[in-house]
């Protein structure tokens, strides 16, 4: 069962950083980091013959990778590039390689591929190299991989590291002593540019975080709604990496939020969960509202009772992203 990240992962010092527990967990972090480093260093990546853009992160949980992936796919398609999304389909039963269709559900292919498939064709494959071969064989000119910064199976033409501007790299420790999949320095060493995902446009990240990026280009971005806020009292729920991030965004957007409840990332809602949510909505006389990612995981019968607040990634310096994508587009056009 997937659990929510512990709060101490977000603090570098003080009592809230749980220094004793962190120290006890550190040897396990060393093992985890060493296994990741070994896997990366000993694997020969596949060159699928087409450009591969990886949109990844250094930490567990959500940082905004999927909206960034969708944005890049849309940009490539606008440039007449046959771009395909590539995902491992976390939470789905299909191991692939399989092309996502309108008949698939989140139980089949996971929630993120369903969202990406609204923007471009998406392949799901437990082995990303197998997915790349399948996409290339069907005429793909470029691939955009949602997650996979620590996956060494594919040769990457461009590696974008999405970092949450509020929490950065947390306490800087590797799982389970912290939120990182590998040391930040190792992740950054394979990064071509950082996408700094801010909670809102005017947010100013702290100097400590910015200093960690060194000379790596930083592309500030944020999530913006693509639909008006529903009127009336709302009761929010979300099963994403950081549910409070969604709840805070609703409040900033002017929502009359009666209350909110968070679930673990990729949470599969049970009948008991849904009955409880409906009971709470009745108690508060409020409309249920959730994220797009949660909405696609809901049973069809439940969706009529739930509003959704869709968002998209907005890059503050779109020209920087254009410059990074130009060589990818040029290379992709050479594949007929």
Q: Mean pLDDT, the chain, as a whole number? A: 93
Share of the chain above pLDDT 70, in %: 99
pLDDT for res 266: 87
pLDDT at 1 over 70: no
Residue-wise pLDDT for 281-313, tens only, equals: 999 999 999 999 999 999 989 999 999 999 999
Please give the residue range of the domain that contains residue 188: 52-224+313-333
CATH number of the structural domain spanning residue 294? 3.40.50
Q: Is residue 45 part of a domain?
A: no
Residue-wise pLDDT for 96-147, tens only, equals: 899 999 999 999 999 999 999 999 999 999 999 999 999 999 999 999 999 9
> Are the C-beta atoms of residues 72 and 326 closer than 8 Å to each other?
no
Q: Does one domain contain both 256 and 271?
A: yes
Q: Does one domain contain both 155 and 246?
A: no
Q: Are strands 98-99 and 122-124 parallel, antiparallel or unpaired?
A: antiparallel
Q: Does one domain contain both 194 and 279?
A: no
Residue of 135, 90, 115 whose CA lies nearest to 294 = 115
Cite the DSSP H helix spans in 79-143: 106-109, 111-116, 128-137
Task: Quote the number of domains for the chain.
Answer: 2
pLDDT for res 137: 94
- 3-class SS at 233? strand
Residue-wise pLDDT for 202-222, tens only, equals: 999 999 999 999 999 999 999
Q: Does one domain contain both 198 and 270?
A: no
Beta strand residue intervals within 32-140, DSSP E:
52-56, 83-87, 98-99, 122-124
Residue 197 half-sphere exposure toward CB, CA atoms < 13 A = 24
Q: Is residue 252 part of a domain?
A: yes
> Are the C-beta atoms of residues 167 and 206 closer than 8 Å to each other?
no
**pTM score:** 0.92
Distance CA 73, CA 121 (A): 9
Q: Is residue 181 part of a domain?
A: yes
> Are the C-beta atoms of residues 56 and 160 closer than 8 Å to each other?
yes
Q: Is residue 17 part of a domain?
A: no
pLDDT for res 63: 80
Q: 3 pLDDT band (50/70/90 cuts)?
A: low
Q: 254 pLDDT band (50/70/90 cuts)?
A: very high
Distance CA 289, CA 213 (A): 36
Q: Does one domain contain both 65 and 191?
A: yes
């Amino acid at each position: 069962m997937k659990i929510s990240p512990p709060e101490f992962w977000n603090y570098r010092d003080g009592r809230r950083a749980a220094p004793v527990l962190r120290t006890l967990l550190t040897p396990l972090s060393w093992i985890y980091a060493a296994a990741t480093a070994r896997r990366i260093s000993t694997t020969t990546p596949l060159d699928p013959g087409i450009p591969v853009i990886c949109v990844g992160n250094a930490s567990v949980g959500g940082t905004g990778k999927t909206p960034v992936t969708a944005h890049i796919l849309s940009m490539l398609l606008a440039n007449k590039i046959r771009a395909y999304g590539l995902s491992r389909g976390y939470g789905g039963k299909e191991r692939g390689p399989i092309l996502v269709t309108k008949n698939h559900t989140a139980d089949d292919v996971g929630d993120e591929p369903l969202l990406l498939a609204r923007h471009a064709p998406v392949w799901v494959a437990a082995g990303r190299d197998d997915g790349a071969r399948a996409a290339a064989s069907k005429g793909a000119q470029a691939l955009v991989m949602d997650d996979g910064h620590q996956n060494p199976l594919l040769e990457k033409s461009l590696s974008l590291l999405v970092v949450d501007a509020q929490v950065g790299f947390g306490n800087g420790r590797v799982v389970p002593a912290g939120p990182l999949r590998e040391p930040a320095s190792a992740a950054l060493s394979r990064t071509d540019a950082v996408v700094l995902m801010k909670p809102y446009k005017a947010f100013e990240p702290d100097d400590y975080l910015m200093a960690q990026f060194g000379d790596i280009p930083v592309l500030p971005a944020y999530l913006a709604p693509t639909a008006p806020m529903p009127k009336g009292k709302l009761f929010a729920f979300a099963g994403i990496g950081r549910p409070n991030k969604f709840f805070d965004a609703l409040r900033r957007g002017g929502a009359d939020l009666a209350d909110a409840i968070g679930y673990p990332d990729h949470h599969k809602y049970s009948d008991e969960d849904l009955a409880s949510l409906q009971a709470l909505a009745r108690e508060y006389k409020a409309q249920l509202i959730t994220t797009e990612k949660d909405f696609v995981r809901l049973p069809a019968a439940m969706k009529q009772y739930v509003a959704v607040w869709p968002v998209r990634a907005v890059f503050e310096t779109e020209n920087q992203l254009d410059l990074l994508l130009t060589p990818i587009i040029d290379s992709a056009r050479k594949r007929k």
